[in-house]
Amino acid sequence: MNQPNRTLIYRVSRSGHVMGEYDIDRIVELLDSGEFLWTDLFWAQGMAAWAPLSNLRAEVAAVKAFPVSAVMPTPVASGRRRMQAPSAQVAKTQATTPSVAGWMWIVGGVTLGVLVGLLTTHLFPNTVQVDRPVEKIVEKPVEVIRTVERTSRLTTDQQTAIAFTSRLIDGKDSKVGVSLSKLSDKVKVINRIVGGGSTHSALSVVTARVEAMFRQNGFKVLSIESEDYPFTIVYVGGVVLDNTDSDGRTINLSGFHSVSMAQPITYFSSFDIIGSENMAIRKANMVLYEKRGAYYYGSSNFNKIPDLYSKSAEAAAAELRKAQDN
């Protein structure tokens, strides 16, 4: 088992509400405390869509196998006593010899300042002074504070562009949509069924049944690799638990099923009419529709599970068609 990537930051959401950004160690703590659920969604840099925290089970196991205390090097005790320098000499050495980490911070800060200066000179030639970004790093989460001083010599357009960019990156001004939007007649179906019984043969046709239901309602089903944007993402989800007898044969399946739809969009209201400082910003790969339910089936009627997904997909396709027709 490999050590976890502790530098990656994850954004976690529940029911369309983003709860914050966390590293993997903090996520493990919140899962153990019950504050986070395995069904909560996460997103990290480079991901095409949100995914449930259950997809991080391998990373969670790695964190518990390699705790932070175990990763830090431990000094090795020796049978000999080490000669200690006089206290005054030690103090003098500590005061006059900078640490390697200190030099790295200084070099990194100077380099970052030079880059910011060059960018500012090209992008904002009328700017008199721009302070070097100041980064404050706390234990959890990592907070980056950037302070930029703008003088009266910035043009109105430059000030407007900076204000709009800050609002876009910050995200506090973003407003999440609450209903399906008319995007296109294309959908992409993604299977997220998990659990010990998720590989049972009865569930092997679920994805195909959901795709068929959307085709019947006039939608084009794209492949997972397709980049034919825009499209609506259809998540086929659920948790399947299996119970076996002493011979390892499955005697019943239980769990819950869901068909949900998300739309990966970024929407700006009219720039020309109200200006960027008042512009509504809506960003989303948000689940805007979900149909779910629970089930418990004995070995004689496993084939009823795909029927549940078909009915949910039929209802979801009808809602999306309604949005397309409006």
Sorted by sequence, the CB contacts under 8 Å of residue 47 that are 6+ apart come out as: none
- Looking at this protein, which amino acid is placed at residue 260? S
Contact 200, 253 (CB under 8 A): yes
- The total of structural domains in the chain comes to 2
Looking at residue 143, what is its pLDDT? 52
**Which domain-ending residue is among 70, 100, 119?**
70
pLDDT, tens digit, 9 for 90 and up, residues 294-321: 988 888 888 899 999 999 999 999 989 8
Indicate whether 87 belongs to any domain.
no
Judged against a pLDDT cut of 50, whether residue 51 lies above it is answered with yes
**By residue range, what is the domain housing residue 200?**
186-325
Indicate whether 194 belongs to any domain.
yes
Indicate whether 55 belongs to any domain.
yes
Sorted by sequence, the CB contacts under 8 Å of residue 175 that are 6+ apart come out as: 280, 281, 282
Rounded mean pLDDT of 110-122? Answer: 53
pLDDT, tens digit, 9 for 90 and up, residues 192-214: 999 988 998 889 999 999 999 99
Indicate whether 44 belongs to any domain.
yes
Q: Domain with 213 in it: what CATH number?
A: 3.30.160
The CA distance from 259 to 291, in Å, is 5
Indicate whether 227 belongs to any domain.
yes
Q: Domain with 38 in it: what CATH number?
A: 3.30.1490
**Which domain-ending residue is among 19, 47, 70?**
70
Rounded mean pLDDT of 75-94? Answer: 41
**Which has the higher per-residue pLDDT, 181 or 305?**
305
DSSP 82: P
Judged against a pLDDT cut of 80, whether residue 107 lies above it is answered with no
Torsion of CA 270, 273, 278, 282, to 10 degrees: -10
Indicate whether 236 belongs to any domain.
yes
pLDDT, tens digit, 9 for 90 and up, residues 222-266: 998 988 878 889 999 999 998 888 888 888 989 989 999 987 655
Phi/psi for 32 (5° steps) reads -65, -35
pLDDT classification of 71: cutoffs 50, 70, 90: low
Indicate whether 151 belongs to any domain.
no
Looking at residue 283, what is its pLDDT? 53
Indicate whether 3 belongs to any domain.
no
